[in-house]
Structure formats: structure tokens, C-alpha cells
Structure 1
Amino acid sequence: MAKLDEIAELLTEEINGFEKSIGRLEKVHEDLQNLPLRPDTSELNALLKEYGNNQKTNIEEQQRLMRKILYKVERSILLPSWAIKLFWGLLVTVLLVLGFSIHQVSRISKKEEAAYIKGQDDAIEHYGTFFEDSPEAKELYQKWLEGKGKK
């Protein structure tokens, strides 16, 4: 029985210690409930609102750009690469022909002058030869010139 008394005494001590611990826990619990601890989410709400506004702006910008791209795609014309190369080849050919034509036209006056001088020289040479071959014609021509000069 002595052992039973000893166990009962230990249990009583443990129960008293447990009751003291419970008393302390109740006191801490009351102190915690009396603390005015309210979570402040105003900064978090402001950040979330700003992020939402940024997202909304980004989405609107992306939609605007998408509409612009779709408008350009709808208006675009798809041409095969051979057609584009042919167009550029024709354009270069036309420009070369035009440039050559302008060059030739600019040289016309020089050609006309050269042809005139050559014709004049040929005519003088022809008449000179003619007058050398027939002195009578030369005399008649000189008389004609003198008569024309007097008038």
C-alpha cells in the first residue's frame, strides 16, 4: 500500500502542476485576446489595385496593337516572289532604256552639227573639184557672184 500512496502522491503533484500550467495558459490566452491585433491589408490592396490597373492598360495596348496588325494584314496583298523580282527587273530595264534615250537625245544637236559640217565640207570639196575640172563654170560662177554682190 505504501506504493499506492506514493503513486497517488505523484499523481496529485502532477495534477497540481498541470492545473498551474492551465492557469498560466488561460492568462496568456486572455492577454492575447485583449491585444488589438488587426491585420492591415490597405497596402496590399493598393498594390493589387495598381497591378490590376497595369494589367488592364497592358491588355488594352495589346488589343489595340492586335487590331492594328489585323487591319494591316487584311489590307495586305500577297505576291509571289517571282512577281516581285519580275517587277524590279522590268523597272530597272525601263530606267536603263529611259536613261539611254535621254543620253541619245542630248547628243542629237552634236550629231546634227557634225553632220552639217561634214556636209558643208563635202559640198565645198565637190564644188572645188567641179570648178577645177571645168574652168568655164568657175568663171560663170564668179561673174554671177559679182553681179549678186552689186545688187
Structure 2
Amino acid sequence: MAKLDEIAELLTEEINGFEKSIGRLEKVHENLRNLPLRPDTSEINTLLSVYGSNQKKTIDEQQRLMHKILYKLERSILLPSWAIKLSWGLLVCILLVLAFSIYQVSRTFKKEETAYSKGQERAMVHYRLFFDESPQAKELYQEWMEEKDKK
């Protein structure tokens, strides 16, 4: 029984200590309630409003860019690849024909000179043969030339 008395005594001491601790906690709680502390959220509110306005500007800018892209996309023309290849092929053909034409035109002067000199040589050969075959025509021609030189 002595042990029970000891245990009961210890329990009463613990209960008294617990009651004292509760009393102190109640006093501290009352003191905390009476303190005029109010949390200051003004800085947080200003930060949130600045962030919100920045977000609104960003969203407005993105919407404006999206409308611009959609407008350009609606106005764009979509061509099939075969049409583009055909257009490039025609352009190359036109350029080749144009270059060949310029080359041919640049060569015409040389062709004309060559043809003129060949024609002159043929005419001279023809007249020599004619004069060799008919000496009377040669004499008449020489007389005509002498009269022409005198005038």
C-alpha cells in the first residue's frame, strides 16, 4: 500500500503541476489576445496588384499578336508545290530563250559581214568568168569605165 500512496502522491503532484501550466497558458493566451497586433498586408496587396496589371498587359499583348497572326493567315494564299515548281520551270525556260536570243542577235553582224564578203567574192568570180568568155563585153565595159572616170 505504501507504493499506492507514493503513486497517488506523485499523481497529485503531476496534476497540480499540470494545472499550474494550464493557468500560465491561459494568462499567456489572454495577453496575446489583448495585444493590438494586426497583420499588415498592404505590401502584399501592392505586389499582387502590380503583378496582376503586368499579367493583364502581357495577356493583352499576346491577344493582339494572335489577332495579327490570324489576320495575316487569313489573307495568305496557299499554292500547291507543283504550281510553284511549274512557275520556276517556266521562268528558267524564259530566261534561257532570252539569253539564246540575245546571243543570236549579237552574232548577226558577223554573219552579215561574212555573207557580204562571200557574195562579193562570188560576184567578182562571176564577172571574171563572164569577161573571160566574152572579150567584146570586156572591151565595152572598159570603155564605159573610162568614160565614167572622165566625168
What's the TM-score once normalised by structure 1's chain length?
A: 0.79
In 2: Cα distance, 1:3 partner to 1:98 partner? 126
Matching residue of 1:65:
65
Closer/same/farther in 2, CA of residues 150 and 64 from structure 1, 3 Å limit = same
Closer/same/farther in 2, CA of residues 43 and 122 from structure 1, 3 Å limit = farther
Closer/same/farther in 2, CA of residues 125 and 53 from structure 1, 3 Å limit = farther
CA-based RMSD of the aligned residues comes to: 2.8
Matching residue of 2:50:
50
Matching residue of 1:87:
87
Would you say 1:41 and 2:41 are equivalent positions?
A: yes
The one-letter amino acid of 2:106's match is S
**Alignment coverage as a number of residue pairs:** 151
In 2: Cα distance, 1:49 partner to 1:123 partner? 105
In 2: Cα distance, 1:116 partner to 1:4 partner? 151
What pairs with 1:1-150 in structure 2 (closer than 5 Å)?
10=10, 12-35=12-35, 37-150=37-150
Closer/same/farther in 2, CA of residues 126 and 21 from structure 1, 3 Å limit = same
| Structure 2 unmatched ranges of 5 or more | none
In 2: Cα distance, 1:99 partner to 1:3 partner? 126
SS at structure 1 position matched to 2:66: helix
What's the TM-score once normalised by structure 2's chain length?
A: 0.79
Q: Which moved more, 1:33-42 or 1:55-64?
A: 33-42
In 2: Cα distance, 1:117 partner to 1:21 partner? 136
| Structure 1 unmatched ranges of 5 or more | none
Q: Which moved more, 1:2-11 or 1:34-43?
A: 2-11
Q: Percent identity?
A: 77
The one-letter amino acid of 2:95's match is L
